[in-house]
Chains A and B, each alone.
Chain A
């Protein structure tokens, strides 16, 4: 397996994942569960970029807005484009994270965690707030990994065709 092929598969797989994630976030309210049974939701919102074509014919459409329905991006999907960047909100109980996911390499951009109190109380261990922040960042990544594992399970399992049919119906509506 050469790295170039790994990059090609990464982009295609990442785009398919984000496209599916948008569909899942709208049709099943983006509800997921960790192995330990912890429930959380992942929803695509505010910003979606879609891309299609190759080389110089490559086309990108970026849609954003605080309460937007992202119609142009949906239209792009109907025309064969796929999601290559999406802003997602991860929520568990009362707390939430926001992050912009990149399909090509899964870098996390603009990751916002629940607020960590930066003011130090007297006698407080300075490592405490660092560990709290790390915990919150790691939690968000863990949730996203659960969602990706769920996608892979479907994608490389026997139910993918059925899932694709659902996704196509969602696209048409």
Chain B
């Protein structure tokens, strides 16, 4: 999902580290490139993810669009996934099992072992994956370097977890999601942390909750 679309889903973060070494700003391009997206069209790999330029998912070298835009750094997380449809998998697995059974019978055996079936399933999956094109998905990222806040254009927890890990791996910085608790902690300050930790919900309904 992109920030430029008419309707955007967003997750917000604050960078935990208060003293970011100034040398990091000169390394942004290199660090992004080191963790850039790697294409898997020609292989059978199940998924691949990494950074590409904000404007162009085909630009993992940030040649066409550098990340710096005023006080913001913008880049995109690209995630390609190969998914064999379950019905296709089921059919081809059945075909492969039937073939194996015929071969077994020719040898005078009656059953396939569990291990043999697992192996057949893995082989079929690999074969089908190699014939399936990976589906690309892009999630824009904006890093406000004045406030040290970061947003990603996604609200799916699996994707945001992947993003948090890759961000930390790339920049050596940690992200704190701006959930009601952490945002309250930022606004109220550390001196009122105890009150926040002891939070008891208010009962609004007259007859009790």
- Chain A contacts to B: CB under 8 angstroms: 1, 5-7, 9-17, 19, 52, 77-80, 82, 102-113, 115-116, 118, 126-127, 129-131, 133-134, 137-138, 141, 145, 148-149, 152, 156, 160, 164, 167-168, 171-172
Contacts and interface: CB of A to CB of B under 8 A. Distances in A.
Contacts of A14: 179-180
A61 B19 CA distance: 45
A126 B187 CA distance: 35
Interface residues of B, number: 44
Given A52-B209, A79-B205, A106-B12, A148 B70 contact: no
B204 A102 contact: no
5 contacts: A9-B197, A17-B180, A108-B155, A156-B192, A171-B206
B6 interface: yes
Given A105-B179, A137-B10, 16 more contacts: A7-B181, A10-B182, A11-B180, A78-B205, A80-B205, A104-B179, A106-B179, A108-B12, A116-B4, A130-B69, A131-B72, A133-B4, A148-B184, A156-B196, A168-B206, A171-B206
B208 interface: yes
A161 to B, nearest CB: 9
B155 A109 contact: yes
A152 B154 CA distance: 26
B155 A131 contact: no
Given A152-B184, A167-B204, A168-B206, A107 B4 contact: no
Given A112-B7, A130-B54, A137-B3, A10 B205 contact: no
A9 B196 contact: yes
Nearest to B197: A1
B10 A107 contact: yes
A168 B204 contact: yes
Nearest to B10: A108
A110 B9 CA distance: 5
B199 interface: yes
A78 to B, nearest CB: 6
Contacts of B69: 127, 130-131, 134
Interface string B174-209: 000111111110011000110111010111111111
Contacts of A149: 187
B151 to A, nearest CB: 8
Contacts of A130: 3-4, 54, 69, 74
Given A105-B177, A107-B155, A134-B72, A5 B204 contact: no
Nearest to B184: A152
Contacts of B193: 1
A148 B187 contact: yes
A126 B70 CA distance: 12
B144 interface: yes
B199 A111 contact: no
A111 B201 contact: no
B180 A171 contact: no
A88 to B, nearest CB: 14
A133 B193 CA distance: 35
Interface string B54-90: 1100000000000001101010000000000000000
